Amino acid sequence: MAAETIRLDVARYRPEEDAEPVLQSYEVPLRPDWAVLDGLAHIKDHLDGTLSFRWSCRMGICGSCGMDVDGEPRLTCGTFLAEYGAGPVRIEPLKGFPVIRDLVVDIDGFLAKLSSVRPWLVREGEEPPLTAEYAQTPAQLDAYKQYSMCINCMLCYSACPVYVLDPDFLGPAAIALAQRYNLDSRDMDDRFDVLNLEEAVWGCTFVGDCTRVCPKHVDPAEAIQRYKVTAALRSVLPWSGR
Amino acid sequence: MIDVLIVGGGGAGLRAAIAVAETAPELTVAVVSKVYPMRSHTVSAEGGAAGVIGIDDSLDEHCYDTVSGGDWLCDQDAVEAFVREAPRELIQLEHWGCPWSREPDGRVAVRPFGGMKRLRTWYAADKTGFHLLHTLFQTTLRHPWIRRYDEWYVTSLVVDDGRVHGVVALDLRTGRVEAIPARAVVLATGGCGRVFPFTTNAAIKTGDGMALAYRAGAPLKDMEFVQYHPTGLPFTGILITEAARAEGGWLLNRDGYRYLQDYDLGTPTPTPKLRSMELGPRDRLSQAFVHEQDKGRTIDTPYGPVVHLDLRHLGAAKIDARIPFVRELCRSYQNLDPATDLIPVRPVVHYMMGGVHTDLDGATTIAGLYAAGETACVSINGANRLGSNSLPEILVFGRRAGLAAAAFARSHREGEPPAVRSQGDDERRRLERARDGSSVGSSGGERIADLRERMQHTLEGAAGIYRTGDALAKAVDTLADLCERAGEARVEDTSATFNTELITLLELRAMLDVARTIVACALGREESRGAHQRVDFPARDDDAYLAHSLVHRAPDGTPSVGLMPVTITCWPPGERVYGR
Amino acid sequence: MRRRLEPYLWLLFSGGGVVAALTLPVLVLLFGVLMPLGVVAWPSAAHLRALVDAPLVRGAVVVALTLCLFHAAHRIRFTSEELLGLRRWDALVAVLCYGAAVAGGVTAITLLF
Amino acid sequence: MTTARPPGHEEARPYVRPRDRWWFARRRSLAVFVLRELTSVLVAWTVAYLLLLLGAVADGTTERFAALAARPWMVALNVLALAATAFHAVTFLNLAPKATVVRLDGWRVPAWMIQGGNHTAWLAVSALLAYLVLRSS
């Protein structure tokens, strides 16, 4: 049986020598259970050790290996080569982020955004002793659970034309994370000051692609639209703050 | 100068950082990690975190389960401290926002788990580690004075006169090698599952912290105890959580027979029974698999023999409510639905019971150097860790190490010694030579991946579920040879920017050092206990080996193994009884 | 300033979106397609005048049409900025778009009152 | 927690992709989005058209308006407006559940129910308007 192969066209960018990324082609074995990430690992291990990319858990939970695969932002560990028939498959760094090297993008801006929404439980008063938990019913847990599933893979940013055109836009994952805490029955904040901004929820034009590409079904688009309602009501009815 | 420098941004490292930030705000804290903290492998933990909470449960019972699960190799004073502090740590996580699964009345829910006699495993569906890590990470964000060195790889510890003075680290982004002086250092870099070819562990788990401490002169402990998790997906090694069995899943051989009943693990019942059958400890379940394989009762696949995990009788609703990630993983990575299909599984390297030798506060033998989490060996896990003990372990001992490091930093206010700069300069020259290829020539030398594969298969062959003295002795030589060859491996990438090939080489060298300690300890322990099963010494030998293996690095680089007594407080060695 | 305005603009946009969705298709179907094509006959001028005779109805028509215009203005503002890269000129674009909507509303008032 | 990037770390410049003028043509979903947004132009036109009609009613020049409306280009434009407003209605009403999550005693009302309600309302309002306009003729 002749071993089947598939061509991967991989974006290379070496800042010391390249002015802009160029595609480099590699032939890798096409195996039914190989993900795109396995193809990249094969290149790094056996064909070209100079290829740089991030990966870790290869089970879709660490959020490292998001890349642009044939024009779509995907987690490469969960995207199978067999999806692409005879190939070739074009693999590029996530769009919308500065490229540090090859398939590695700069995510510091994203982290700054996450930090800016106060993504922690905001409580008033003293923390009670560590003898009992705050009560939370399954229904109250359900109210925010979906928004707590974000793995920070940033596919939603890459899919969002608003973010790609305007890097200052707070973006889907950060707003969903803010909502994860806003809707938590134990939280006492509504993060109005950081969300009720033109670069925050009001920048969103509800394209909806963030939700479409989210591998964890977080539905950031929903989180944003819901906050628009919250913020609008709070603006019209100033006494309606929580 | 940094007061407390933490290497590793996973659960243990972040818990340590928060402990310092909250109790000693006057100290500067830094987290140096080779990945962004939320990428750390804590994120992959699934099933849950044990902490006594039920009224029908007691600290003593959790201790006993842990000690018997560890085949009496645990230090019982450490276990007692751990069991006592675990519940308050889990409540602390709840107060920080962790979305624990709940009972209808709003209390935190607990589930059964392998080797545990009571329901005491807290869970956040089956993404417990994910929620725990993100809760910790997000909580650190409220302390802006915790400095983060994201994507910095620590290449060595600066140790002078028996005391740590900081680290030398490489910034992946710029390629710069810098000495970072610090008064105290906490190692929290996780385990080293990647020394084996088939593991649940993420790519980043290369034993870096263990190797750092070991090279700096701190001994490692109990390195021969490697946990195989009984249920990994073939090919990928993706973990199917023990919670799948805790919720009622069965292990079936090729005849559809619940084979665990043949291995002194109890008799089958339709619903799960604690400390019995599928809820036995991981070492015993993985060993049973090998016996089934020997009897020809496993199923052959292109990726080796498997047995089946059967969840079909649980129904889709229960699977979605309790173990949704199992279904998600099976669908995405194995192309099957556990609600209607059998899941092929096989034992897979999961966890290192061993690690850097520490006391109850995470202190190593080097002044100012601490370790916590899987990197460390306190030891609460003994010869076999119980499922759902590792998450509370990183919290309890992460906090303890952080507090101890803060206290050390407070009482040692002197400035940085000259050793820091000079060692930083040496390291920079050494790494730049490796990167430029000027040390070996980029065309000479072997491929990193080839050497890694050799190492992994050596380990699997010699230090797998069952071991023999002969194979281990051969592995000692093979690994020594590989170590030498890794010194001259080929690095094609000469770029300073995000040079992952150079990191891969440094990781390989760390793994080889750790691998040699695993094999040396396994060769030294001429008995069978917990996860260490010697075919040539099949019985437990408490007279000779109720003791920890302690392994130092000899000046010539070879591991030298000694023994250290186990601390026994309340539970004298006895028989491990499951299902009876 | 802008920060305090956005929620109101969005409310106008949303309200207009609802009104436009519920009313415009049937109106353009009748007055723009079926009647001009002769599929249904034009109602008499008197009937049409009677329809908008009640002050309340006139008011509702003014509000509805103005909301629809605000809906359109909001979308045109953002879409033009995204398609043409005019984000920098947002203030100007916004004034033009919402200004046009206000003008349309004023026109409706002058026509009906 | 803040990121430490010590000063003096010279960094090779990251590559920043230039603005993609044709971003909306890269993916089907984006093209649909832009179409959805562009319906607003025809919404505005439809309002303008209705204002013209109201003006004609006010001035008593409905005959002239009818003649204008019957011009082929005008009919074509209004057919387009019909398509656009209908597309706007379908997309807008379908997306509404994203902004209005309804929970009854912890149970989340599924999107299709809210959408079904919206579309029923659309039908009812359309029928009422058609009845009011057509009842005497």
Choice among B118, B183, B282, B540 that is catalytic: B282
Q: Tell whether residue B353 is among the known ligand binding residues.
A: no
Q: What ipTM is given for this predicted complex?
A: 0.94
Q: Do A188 and A220 have their domain in common?
A: yes
Q: Is the peptide bond before B338 cis (omega within 30 degrees of 0)?
A: no
User: Do residue C7 and residue A166 have CB atoms under 8 angstroms apart?
Assistant: no
Average pLDDT over residues B386-395: 98
Per-residue pLDDT, A80: 95
Between B222 and C5, name the one with better pLDDT.
B222
C-alpha distance across the termini of chain C, in Å: 33
Q: Please, which residues 87-116 of chain B have a Cβ atom closer than 8 Å to chain A?
A: 88, 91-92, 94-97, 99-108
Domains located in chain D, CATH noted: 24-99 (1.20.1300.10)
**How far apart are alpha carbons B448 and A44 in whole angstroms?**
10
Confidence class of residue B445 from pLDDT cuts 50, 70 and 90? Answer: confident
For chain D, give the mean pLDDT: 90
Domain-ending residue, one of A105, A137, A154:
A105
- Residue A215 belongs to domain spanning: 108-240
Say how many C-beta atoms besides its own lie within 10 A of residue B7's C-beta. 30
Q: Tell whether residue B42 is among the known ligand binding residues.
A: yes
Q: Please, which residues 379-408 of chain B have a Cβ atom closer than 8 Å to chain A?
A: none
A232 contacts in chain C (CB < 8 Å): 7-8, 10-11, 14
Of C11, C85, C87, the CB nearest to A232: C11
User: Do residue A202 and residue C78 have CB atoms under 8 angstroms apart?
Assistant: no
Asked if the model's pLDDT at residue B383 lies above 90, the reply is yes
A139 contacts in chain D (CB < 8 Å): 103, 105-107
Interface test with A, best of D10, D22, D98 (most A CBs within 10 A): D98
Nearest-CA distance from A222 to chain B in Å? 20
Average pLDDT over residues D38-63: 95
Average pLDDT over residues D113-133: 95
Secondary structure in 3-state letters for B93-133: HHHCCCCCCECCCCCECEECCCCCCCCCEECCCCCHHHHHH
Q: Do A134 and A230 have their domain in common?
A: yes
Nearest-CA distance from C75 to chain A in Å? 8
Count how many residues are written for chain A.
242
Closest Cα to residue D36, out of A176, A167, A209?
A209
Q: From first to last of its 113 residues, what are the pLDDT tens digits of chain C?
A: 345 799 999 999 999 999 999 999 999 999 999 999 999 999 998 999 999 889 999 999 999 999 999 999 999 999 999 998 888 899 999 999 999 999 999 999 999 88
B331 is catalytic: no
Number of domains comprising chain A: 2
Domain-ending residue, one of A105, A129, A163:
A105
Per-residue pLDDT, B330: 96
Cα four-point dihedral sign B197, B198, B202, B205:
negative
Domains located in chain C, CATH noted: 2-112 (1.20.1300.10)
Q: What is the CATH number of the domain that holds A61?
A: 3.10.20.30
Between B387 and B418, name the one with better pLDDT.
B387
CB B146 within 8 A of CB B21: yes
Asked if the model's pLDDT at residue B437 lies above 80, the reply is no
Q: What is the CATH number of the domain that holds A179?
A: 1.10.1060.10
Nearest-CA distance from A139 to chain D in Å? 5
Per-residue pLDDT, A1: 44
Please enumerate residues of D whose Cβ is less than 8 A from a Cβ of B. 1-4, 6, 9-12
Helices (H) and strands (E) in chain B, counts: 15, 22
Query: How far, CA to CA in Å, does B96 sit from each of B8, B36, D126?
Result: 21, 20, 52
User: Do residue C40 and residue D82 have CB atoms under 8 angstroms apart?
Assistant: no
**How far apart are alpha carbons B493 and B177 in whole angstroms?**
17
Domain boundaries, chain B: 228-350
Of B130, B138, B496, the CB nearest to A119: B138
Q: At what angle do helices B500-524 and B418-436 cross, to 10 degrees?
A: 110
CB B423 within 8 A of CB B168: yes
Identify the bridge partners of residue B299 per DSSP, sorted by sequence position: B306
**How far apart are alpha carbons B259 and C43 in whole angstroms?**
84
Type of residue found at B402? G
Confidence class of residue B55 from pLDDT cuts 50, 70 and 90? Answer: confident
CB B15 within 8 A of CB B395: yes
Of C2, C14, C82, the CB nearest to A205: C82
Asked if the model's pLDDT at residue D93 lies above 80, the reply is yes
Say how many C-beta atoms besides its own lie within 10 A of residue B296's C-beta. 10
Measured between CA atoms, the residue of chain D closest to residue C58 is: D54
Type of residue found at B529? R
**How far apart are alpha carbons B304 and B435 in whole angstroms?**
38
Query: Measured between CB atoms, does A90 come within 8 Å of chain C?
Result: no
**How far apart are alpha carbons B576 and B529 in whole angstroms?**
11
Per-residue pLDDT, B431: 87
Per-residue pLDDT, B439: 52
Interface test with C, best of A205, A224, A225, A227 (most C CBs within 10 A): A205
Query: How far, CA to CA in Å, does B456 sit from each of B6, B59, B459, B524, D43?
Result: 29, 39, 5, 20, 66
Place of tokens 């103005």: C66
Nearest-CA distance from A31 to chain C in Å? 41
Interface test with C, best of D85, D93, D120, D134 (most C CBs within 10 A): D85
**How far apart are alpha carbons D92 and C71 in whole angstroms?**
11
C-alpha distance across the termini of chain D, in Å: 72
For B15-61, where are the E strands, in sequence order? 29-33, 49-50
Closest Cα to residue B69, out of B526, B379, B308, B346?
B379
Of C18, C75, C107, the CB nearest to D51: C107
C72 contacts in chain A (CB < 8 Å): none
Say how many C-beta atoms besides its own lie within 10 A of residue B67's C-beta. 28
Rounded (10°) CA dihedral A232, A233, A235, A239: -160
Domain-ending residue, one of A105, A122, A156:
A105
Per-residue pLDDT, C4: 77
Average pLDDT over residues B500-516: 97
D2 contacts in chain B (CB < 8 Å): 144-148
For strands B220-221 and B355-357, give the pairing. antiparallel
Average pLDDT over residues B6-24: 97
D16 contacts in chain A (CB < 8 Å): 98-99
Per-residue pLDDT, A242: 45
Tokens standing for residue B36 = 């962004």
The per-residue pLDDT for range B540-569, each reduced to its tens digit, is 999 999 999 999 999 999 999 999 999 999
Helix (H) or strand (E) holding B301: strand B299-301
Tokens standing for residue B184 = 């105290």
User: Do residue A120 and residue B138 have CB atoms under 8 angstroms apart?
Assistant: yes
**Mean pLDDT in order along chain A per 10 residues (242 residues):** 84 94 97 95 97 97 98 96 92 97 97 97 93 95 96 98 94 98 97 94 95 97 96 82 48
Average pLDDT over residues B118-145: 96
3-state secondary structure of A185: coil
Interface test with C, best of A160, A202, A204, A233 (most C CBs within 10 A): A202
Per-residue pLDDT, B575: 95
Confidence class of residue B176 from pLDDT cuts 50, 70 and 90? Answer: very high
**How far apart are alpha carbons B303 and B236 in whole angstroms?**
9
Q: What is the CATH number of domain B228-350?
A: 3.90.700.10
Type of residue found at A115? S
Q: Do A68 and A80 have their domain in common?
A: yes
Contacts of B among chains (3+ CB pairs under 8 A): A, D
Of C21, C44, C107, the CB nearest to D92: C21
b (16+ CB within 10 A) / e for B332-355: bbbeeebbebbbbbbbbbbbbbbb
CA B507 to chain centre: 16
Measured between CA atoms, the residue of chain A closest to residue D100 is: A226
Query: How far, CA to CA in Å, does B117 sit from each of B124, B386, B569, C25?
Result: 21, 11, 20, 67
Q: At what angle do helices A172-182 and A220-236 cross, to 10 degrees?
A: 60
Per-residue pLDDT, D108: 85
Per-residue pLDDT, C1: 39
Query: Measured between CB atoms, does B301 come within 8 Å of chain A?
Result: no
Q: Please, which residues 70-89 of chain D have a Cβ atom closer than 8 Å to chain C?
A: 70, 74-75, 77-79, 81-82, 85-86, 88-89
Identify the bridge partners of residue B87 per DSSP, sorted by sequence position: none
Measured between CA atoms, the residue of chain D closest to residue A222 is: D98
Q: Do A30 and A99 have their domain in common?
A: yes
Of B204, B495, B497, the CB nearest to A56: B204
**How far apart are alpha carbons B45 and B329 in whole angstroms?**
13
Average pLDDT over residues B124-137: 97
Per-residue pLDDT, B434: 79
